[in-house]
Chains A and B, each alone.
Chain A
Amino acid sequence: MSDLDLWLIILGGGLLTYLTRIGGHLLIARIGALPPRLEAALNAVPAAVITTIVAPVVVSGTWAERLSILACGLLCLWLPGIVVVLLGTAFVAVARSQGF
């Protein structure tokens, strides 16, 4: 990817992110409240998008990776996120060093 492409991503992503940060306030100042369906859709965006980032590991990861991602999902009910990430990554690193 070229330098220009990377800067376009940084500046374009930054501009649109700033619009989301100031946009809700501007929108509310105009229309009063968000329609329920729009609010429900907005509420679902983080879970929906983040799931798609994990999906490739579930669909086409190695068995060690799948096992680790499943364990991470359960462990983060009890442990802090950063601990779970380090444990899961360490497990995959060890599995790879053993040829899995």
Chain B
Amino acid sequence: MPKIDPLEARAALRDVVPVILAIMPFGAVYGTVAIDSGLTMAQTLGLSGIVYAGASQLVALQMIGLSAPVWSIVLVVFALNFRHVLYSASVGRHLSRFTATQKAAAFFLLADPTFGAAEARANGGVLTRSYYFVYGLLLYVFWLVATLAGAVFGSALGDTRALALDFILPAYFLTFLMSFRARPQFWPVVLWSLATSGLVYVTVGSPWHVTIGAFGGILYAALRAPDAPSEAGIAGEGERV
């Protein structure tokens, strides 16, 4: 491990602390819901530590609660996290000074805020290893800390239906959804997904409303694709982890 540049580390710390404060409640909600969904402590932490993508973790819990088939849950996690392909393609250009092993580790830590911070840092000059890893590792560790806090203390809450904890996920996903509203084709994509998903939900049932429903919106976007690729609408939005 090369030594850490203290100035770069301090800049990373300054940038990551507000983000950590913002994601902690969501990590805690995830931990609470995970234990409530019947996951063990190891599984709860495992999903946070191995998948490390908050929205997809919560969707997985939702589908586990519905007893959806394993393959369909894995597929939906994959689909939901597919946006990382865009992050990876973009951030990869700024990692030329990283060794192959460092790149492999850096991509593991490539969550939404890490992507945003790395892009912003690269815009202002050079993205250093010290900056990237201090930022990325702190965010990762505190995502696990928040998960643990939710898993330990959340179970002390009691009757989760009376507290409407089952409503936290749809409400959270709606606010998450709205964070993408600046993207091209946002409203038609949402309406096509909603219509397809609603129809599948009342006819075929769960979990097909997720897998088939999403295709309604994705297909629309692919068919309506502009001729020129756009640079807008990728950075600085999306989920917290």
Which one of A46, A77, A84, A96 has the greatest number of beta carbons of chain B within 10 Å?
A: A46
Q: Do the beta carbons of A69 and B170 come within 8 Å of each other?
A: yes
B80 adjacent to chain A (CB < 8 Å) = yes
Asked if A1 and B47 make an inter-chain contact with CB atoms under 8 angstroms apart, the answer reads no
User: Quick check: B51 and A43 within 8 Å, CB to CB?
Assistant: no
Q: How large is the interface on B (under 10, 10 to 19, 20 to 34, 35 or more residues)?
A: 35 or more
Looking at the complex, which one of A6, A29, A46, A81 makes contact with B43 (CB distance below 8 Å)?
A6
Interchain CB contact under 8 A, B104 and A22:
yes
| B interface majority secondary structure | helix
> Which of A7, A23, A40, A68 gathers the greatest number of chain B CB atoms within 10 Å?
A40
Contact with B along A60-76 (1 / 0, CB 8 A): 10000100110011001
Produce 1/0 per residue, B179-199, CB < 8 A to A: 110011110011011100110
Instruction: Name the interface residues of B136-181: CB closer than 8 Å to any CB of A.
Output: 161-165, 167-180
CB within 8 Å for A25 and B88 given contacts A9-B73, A13-B47 = yes
**B85 with A10: CB separation less than 8 A:** no
* CB atoms of B209 and A55 under 8 A apart: yes
Chain A residues in the interface with B (C-beta under 8 A): 1, 3, 5-14, 16-18, 20-25, 27-29, 33-34, 36-60, 65, 68-69, 72-73, 76-77, 80-82, 84-85, 88-90, 92-93, 96-97
